[in-house]
Structure 1
Amino acid sequence: MRVAPKVELTEEQRAQLTKLTRSGRTSVRQAQRANIILLASQGWDNKDIGRQVGLGRVAVARWRQRFIDLGLPGIERDLPRGAPPQKVDVAKLVELTTQSQPAAATHWSTRKMAAELGVSPSTVMRHWQAHGLKPHLARSFKVSRDPQFVQKLEDIVGLYMAPPEHALVLCCDEKSQVQALDRTQPGLPLKKGRAQTLTHDYKRHGTTTLFAALNVLDGQIISQCQQRHTHVEWLKFLKQIDKQTPPDKTLHLIADNYATHKHPKVQEWLHKHPRFHMHFTPTSASWLNMVERFFRDLTTERLRRGVFTSVRELEEAIEDYVRHHNECPKPFIWTKSAKDILQKVIRANSRLSSKQNETLH
């Protein structure tokens, strides 16, 4: 049978403990601990003391031992709670995350890093968040190598930020190979506690190509769906633009460098229609064309989770989306100047060059 260690008090200690139990300024916890020690000095066992002060036997035993080890200072401070904080070398964590890779993997996870440093995954996540590190994400990019990048950039951004008078600026492009996808099984609708479900596989029912022109001034869309996207379909779309815009307005069309847009027959038609002025984006810089922003909205809001049993049904859905958009159009506002964009591209090129030099050496 285990016997609790004996507590012996000096007269000074007994007086201080008695004062703590009677003082109105003493916290309830300190008065309780002082009472434990006083009862222990009278020979009470831990179980009886616990019943008297309203604590468990184990807690009483700990405060008894703290007093024996440390004296009065031992009962003035709270016992530490929970596990001790894990110490991590933050500099090493950041260095490993940004400058190394784990074995047989392309990037660190919280569990891999925790095993490497001997800490918990939550500790790793906390420090990653504090330093803005997200190793599970990767962003794609492509820096344009167009020798006329600066001229084309200034031309297009100039049209966005200071459009010419008595003219319309239209951002044009094709969204090709839009698939009419039908799911192999019916999904379940959204409900409380469960997301909408869609089968991962699908049936293909053909494709269509969406030709679209975004009016930079008011956000209106001119659109046309066709089965192919050769120069013939592009010419047909240009004729539609010609019919659906005021004849007294000069038209500035922004398009990419797709060969269809520069076909000899297209050039011949443009020569006969002098109000059309073509402005081509630099190579690998489709982000300069604002109609791409509309295409993104169309994909996320209507196509990605859509179910289409035929190309006609797909085209009707696209036409309905465009019609709804045009009922209350909202233009996209371009805010970055050509100078700001150019400086960012210069910084990206310099970093890429230095990285290539490191690889060569």
Structure 2
Amino acid sequence: MLDAAHGYSNARIAQRRDVHIDTVRLWRGRYDSEQGVTSLADRPRPGRPPTFGPLQRAEIKALACQLPAESGVPLSRWSRGDLAREAVARGLATAISASTVRRILATDLLKPWQYQSWIFIRDPAFAAKAARVLDLYARVWDGLPLGADEYVISADEKTSIQARCRCHPTLPPGTSRMMRVNHDYDRGGALAYLAAYDVHTARVMGRCSAKTGIVPFMDLVEQIMTSEPYTSAKRVFWVVDNGSSHRGKAAADRLAERFPNAVMLHTPVHASWLNQVEIFFSIVQRKVITPNDFTDLDQVEDRLIAFERRYNETARPFRWKFTPADLEDLLARIERHEQKKSNSQQPLGCDQQPAVLDQAA
């Protein structure tokens, strides 16, 4: 409209403002010289006006971002229906449905009915231990690249794999019907699956045992280290977690005494996610064990060993994405968190005043 007041034609205005000439005609037609700028305001739209205003939407989102216990509600987490009832009880709305709550929360990707567990890093040597493991995954040791005759093995145990014999046969999928597994079962015992995963060749070597412990783990080591190419290898690095079967310096010394070319490295405490064999175990859980329907432990063992052979036929190394740069970023974020936590817990001295008083001043 300012361009029009300066005498520009519709075509010239469209060129200057990078819009279509029909847009220029539309707004020049809507402009009323008597009403001025107010004639360009949004016109009333058809349809029902919004039931919940911006303030109500913000209050519902704020409620969803609180733990139920903080509000005195005996729940562990909110559902959409719970949030709708709580919003009505607090007077945020006279009535609101669970689907409306979902749409309001979806604008900020809020899903309080979901949760993710996590564990805080407590190992004081986390940085050093994690860096060594990540270097090995990148085929580096003490700053030097690994040779062709050096290997990295990731090993662990998957415990308590049960044999649950269903009281009625499992039914295969059919037309408009998923596979059906009977809920009732008879217990047939449990076993442990010990596996060693070659990080760079993606080869898995495993065995089953009635229980875990030092002896079963060393049996796995014996199985691997007495076969090629590991027997004649210059060094074989064993990455393990801090389980009782291979914990501490005693386990490392025991391994080195039995096989001088074997080197054991432990992941940081509570950081088994750095052990790549855990990824393989998650595949076993999804593809072999779930749903659990085995007549006895022999069938469990046969299935595990058969899957191991099947996996090795087409396996490729995992695309490990957590790099030393990611480790540095993680440690920096932890340091900032600890700094913030210590500052918030620092008591006020005689010469210190709360920040709110500074702002008021």
* TM-score computed with the length of structure 2 as normaliser: 0.71
- Give the whole-Å Cα distance in 2 for the aligned partners of 1:328 and 1:347: 38
CA contact 1:231–1:266 (8 Å) conserved in 2: no
Q: How does 1:148-227 map to 2 (within 5 A)?
A: 148-163=125-140, 164-165=146-147, 166-227=149-210
- Give the whole-Å Cα distance in 1 for the aligned partners of 2:105 and 2:175: 33
* Alpha-carbon offset, residue 353 of structure 1: 7.7
* Alpha-carbon offset, residue 355 of structure 1: 6.7
CA contact 2:160–2:192 (8 Å) conserved in 1: yes
The aligned residue for residue 287 of structure 2 is: 301
* Alpha-carbon offset, residue 344 of structure 1: 2.3
- Give the whole-Å Cα distance in 2 for the aligned partners of 1:317 and 1:268: 32
The aligned residue for residue 339 of structure 1 is: 325
- 1:33-83 CA distance string (max 9 Å, x none): xxxxxxxxxxxxxxxxxxxxxxxxxxxxxxxxxxxxxxxxxxxx99945x5
* Alpha-carbon offset, residue 100 of structure 1: 4.2
- Give the whole-Å Cα distance in 1 for the aligned partners of 2:78 and 2:285: 32
* Alpha-carbon offset, residue 186 of structure 1: 2.6
- 2:90 aligned with 1:105, yes or no? no
Amino acid at match of 1:152: K
- 2:85 aligned with 1:85, yes or no? no
Greater Rg by CA: 1
Which one of 257, 262, 265 corresponds to residue 276 of structure 1? 262
Mind listing any 5+ residue stretches in structure 1 that lack a counterpart?
1-76
When residues 356 and 301 of structure 1 are mapped into structure 2, their CA distance, relative to the original with a 3 A threshold, is farther
When residues 79 and 138 of structure 1 are mapped into structure 2, their CA distance, relative to the original with a 3 A threshold, is closer
SS of 1:99's partner is: coil
Q: How does 1:130-149 map to 2 (within 5 A)?
A: 130-149=107-126
Amino acid at match of 1:298: V
- 2:306 aligned with 1:320, yes or no? yes
- Give the whole-Å Cα distance in 2 for the aligned partners of 1:234 and 1:127: 53
- Give the whole-Å Cα distance in 1 for the aligned partners of 2:324 and 2:45: 62
- Give the whole-Å Cα distance in 2 for the aligned partners of 1:177 and 1:205: 12
Q: Percent identity?
A: 28
Which one of 253, 256, 261 corresponds to residue 267 of structure 1? 253
Amino acid at match of 2:226: K
- Give the whole-Å Cα distance in 1 for the aligned partners of 2:217 and 2:236: 16
* TM-score computed with the length of structure 1 as normaliser: 0.71
- Give the whole-Å Cα distance in 2 for the aligned partners of 1:224 and 1:99: 47
Residues matched between the structures, number:
284
Structure with higher helix content: 1
When residues 242 and 301 of structure 1 are mapped into structure 2, their CA distance, relative to the original with a 3 A threshold, is same
The aligned residue for residue 3 of structure 2 is: none
Mind listing any 5+ residue stretches in structure 2 that lack a counterpart?
1-42, 141-145, 348-361
SS of 2:163's partner is: strand
CA contact 2:252–2:264 (8 Å) conserved in 1: no
- 1:337-358 CA distance string (max 9 Å, x none): 1231342254256547857987
CA contact 1:161–1:334 (8 Å) conserved in 2: no
